[in-house]
Chain A
Amino acid sequence: MTKRALPLRWLTSEHPLPWLFPVTSLLIVFGLYPVLYSLWLSFYKRNPATRKEKFMPSWNWEKLLSDERVWDAVQITFTYAFIALTLQLVLGLTIALILDSDKRGFGVLRALMTLPLVVPPAVTGMMFLLMYDSSFGVISNSLYSLGLLSPSTPILGTGSTALWGVIVADVWQWTPFMVLIMLAGLRALPREPFEAASIDGASSFQAFVFLTLPMMSKIIALAVLIRGIDLFRIFDYVKVMTDSGPGTATETLTAYAGTVYFKSANFPYASTVALATLILVLITASLFIKIFKVRF
């Protein structure tokens, strides 16, 4: 074999480093650096009066643990993520089962299904804000006329319903994502076991329970993981629709971090709350992966 010129010799598959360099540097610059920077920031105590920062590594973390608003936010985040995820999973699977057909027109339906995904989340928030409006909002007015809601308790303005109002927007936007993943899984299922099951006397419901679900379990787990992580970071809908209100009824962890950052300009503490979110996501996701034995 002839020796190639030096730069070319480095660009063969025997030398992985040059190939790994671009994506690694991107990850370092845009992934690792911000995290490390936040961590470093969280070790400083900010004096709001003097606007000076002082190195005190445990200050913010101690504050975090004793901050009632953080614990409230954790609870709201979990509630939000759990309800939204359950709804999206159930709806997503149901719609996917309906759309999993080779009949005419279903391809078009599948394509239409993806439309909500291309709407920017902030716009979705605005859209629902308008639909919830107590004087002209279509959703509010429908609920009024059905007697399910009274104009004295606007959806987003009432503590007990505000979180649901936000969840509905999230579900509208992200259920199609679940549908897409579930459809990909359903369409890839082999046909033969289902034929065998119908010979064995299985009704379509039994086939769903005993074949579809177990065969889809990996894909379902993966979808739950991806969506779950995303839901923990919920920010845009809350910001646009309720701005954590009324009171702190819809204040999730990231929303709280935003408030601390933008309203009190306490950057070190905001970083700490943001990191807490990250830690929460990591723990929850790892537990999920462990318990449900998710494999990639």
Chain B
Amino acid sequence: MSSVKISNLEKAYGNVKVLHRLNLDVEDGRFVVLLGPSGCGKSTLLRMIAGLESVTGGDILFDDKRVNDVHAKDRNIAMVFQNYALYAHMTVRKNMAFSMRLNKTDKKTMDEKVNWASSILGLDEYLDRLPKELSGGQRQRVAMGRAIVRDPDVFLFDEPLSNLDAKLRVQMRTEIKDLHQRLKTTTVYVTHDQIEAMTMADEVVVMRGGYIEQSGTPMEIYDNPNNLFVAQFIGSPSMNILKCEVQQNNGAQSAVIGDTHFPLPTNSSLQVGQIIHYGIRPEHFHVSTQAQHGSIVGTVKVVEPTGPETHVYLNIAEHSLCAITRDRIELRPGDAIHLQPDLGHVHLFDGDTSNAI
């Protein structure tokens, strides 16, 4: 087991910079999730940690030892590749046992490990098949198996669940988390699924366009997004964002868009006339069919009951918003709906820089 430290790491392909001076500290035994939209450089960063991509600038340290020039085979890592990278001419069993075969593990341990992994991954019936005889999801699980039979210093996962069905995905998520809690192996896990990130991570690192936008525990990121991008990327349905102007009414400030006045927290130090992004998560509205003190009125567009809660998509003036309520209220498209923002959970972002105020 070892810690992974990344300092001022840069990557360029020719003239194209894909990673910009990244800094990241993964403590020994932590589960860190890299989260970001497609093409933001997650795989590139992971592959650099693995030693599969050369380093353009900066350092990668395992346990404070610089490993920039250490070959992948000597880094003692296990990795699940985004494209599986299975050995096409080997059976599932041989794929999983390959690393053990290389370091001359005895046959008994090898079989035990493979059987253990295949039962976790539900691959028992497929052990003697070739990769080409498997479905995408099964192949992905073989790739997973190949990693978990190892006893590495660091686990690297590149979207290991992306091809599984919803049920299997939840199940595997739990298995991975359970595995990590037992083995306590430092793990870097790439995903673009924010639910996966929230549920599994000790620490989430949100990336965009080759930059780290924010890192912290899932809750820190959820509660205090640094900027508009992180705010909208985390949470589902995502945070409502409205571009407003700050105005002074009856001694109190409010954020105004069209004719609608959104109340502002009293402690915010805003200037009248300032342009801001007013952000509030759907679950931080109090929803009611009756007008309340300071409530905002909108028109219901779509109602989506999910069971425990109901998602209401509505229009205020020409802006679409989403609100979530756990109350069972009768709403039909076209009805008027009254929202009261929970002032403790309003997020304000600068109109120009999009950074949190």
Which one of B72, B84, B88 lies within 8 Å of A199 (CB-CB)?
B72
A193 with B87: CB separation less than 8 A: yes
B86 with A196: CB separation less than 8 A: yes
B73 with A193: CB separation less than 8 A: no
* A230 on the B face (CB < 8 A): no
User: Smallest CB–CB gap between B190 and chain A, Å?
Assistant: 15
The contact sample of 25 A-B pairs, CB cut-off 8 A, is A192-B81, A192-B83, A193-B85, A193-B86, A193-B88, A196-B81, A196-B87, A197-B98, A198-B51, A198-B52, A198-B71, A199-B73, A199-B79, A200-B73, A200-B98, A200-B102, A200-B146, A201-B76, A201-B103, A202-B73, A203-B73, A206-B102, A211-B87, A215-B88, A215-B89
A203 to B84, CA, bound (A): 20
Within 8 A of B (CB), among A187-220: 192-193, 195-203, 206, 210-211, 214-215
A-side interface mostly: helix
* B78 on the A face (CB < 8 A): yes
Closest A residue to B95 using CB positions: A196
With A192-B81, A195-B72 in contact, do A201 and B89 touch (Cβ < 8 Å)?
no
A32 to B299, CA, bound (A): 86
B-side interface mostly: loop
Which one of A198, A210, A214 lies within 8 Å of B73 (CB-CB)?
A198
B77 with A199: CB separation less than 8 A: yes
B73 with A201: CB separation less than 8 A: yes
A233 to B84, CA, bound (A): 46
A211 to B87, CA, bound (A): 8
A199 to B152, CA, bound (A): 10
A198 to B52, CA, bound (A): 9
User: Hey, what's the 0/1 contact readout for B87-102 against A, CB within 8 Å counting as 1?
Assistant: 1110000000011001
Closest A residue to B82 using CB positions: A192
A195 with B89: CB separation less than 8 A: no
- For B, the interface residue count at a CB cutoff of 8 angstroms equals 24
B146 with A214: CB separation less than 8 A: no
B89 with A196: CB separation less than 8 A: no
User: Smallest CB–CB gap between B2 and chain A, Å?
Assistant: 16
A211 to B52, CA, bound (A): 17
Query: Could you say which residues of chain A place their CB within 8 Å of the CB of B77?
Result: 199
* B50 on the A face (CB < 8 A): yes
A198-B72, A202-B98 given; 5 more Cβ-contact pairs under 8 Å: A196-B86, A197-B87, A199-B52, A202-B73, A202-B102
Where the two chains meet, the residues of A that have a C-beta atom closer than 8 Å to any C-beta of B are: 192-193, 195-203, 206, 210-211, 214-215
Closest A residue to B156 using CB positions: A199
A166 to B233, CA, bound (A): 72
A202 to B88, CA, bound (A): 16
B99 with A201: CB separation less than 8 A: yes
Query: Could you say which residues of chain A place their CB within 8 Å of the CB of B88?
Result: 193, 215
Query: Could you say which residues of chain B place their CB within 8 Å of the CB of A196?
Result: 79, 81, 85-87, 146
Among B52, B83, B103: residue with most chain A CB under 10 A: B52
Query: Could you say which residues of chain B place their CB within 8 Å of the CB of A214?
Result: 89
Query: Could you say which residues of chain A place their CB within 8 Å of the CB of B72?
Result: 195, 198-199
A211 to B86, CA, bound (A): 11
Which one of B52, B103, B150 lies within 8 Å of A195 (CB-CB)?
B52
Closest B residue to A199 using CB positions: B79
Closest A residue to B83 using CB positions: A192
User: Smallest CB–CB gap between A146 and chain B, Å?
Assistant: 40
User: Smallest CB–CB gap between B47 and chain A, Å?
Assistant: 8
A195 to B77, CA, bound (A): 12
A199 to B143, CA, bound (A): 12
Which one of B52, B81, B86, B102 lies within 8 Å of A201 (CB-CB)?
B102
Closest A residue to B52 using CB positions: A195
A196 to B82, CA, bound (A): 11
Query: Could you say which residues of chain B place their CB within 8 Å of the CB of A210?
Result: 87, 98
User: Smallest CB–CB gap between B63 and chain A, Å?
Assistant: 19
Closest B residue to A213 using CB positions: B89
Among A192, A195, A196, A198: residue with most chain B CB under 10 A: A196
Among A193, A201, A210: residue with most chain B CB under 10 A: A201
A2 to B7, CA, bound (A): 74
User: Smallest CB–CB gap between B269 and chain A, Å?
Assistant: 51
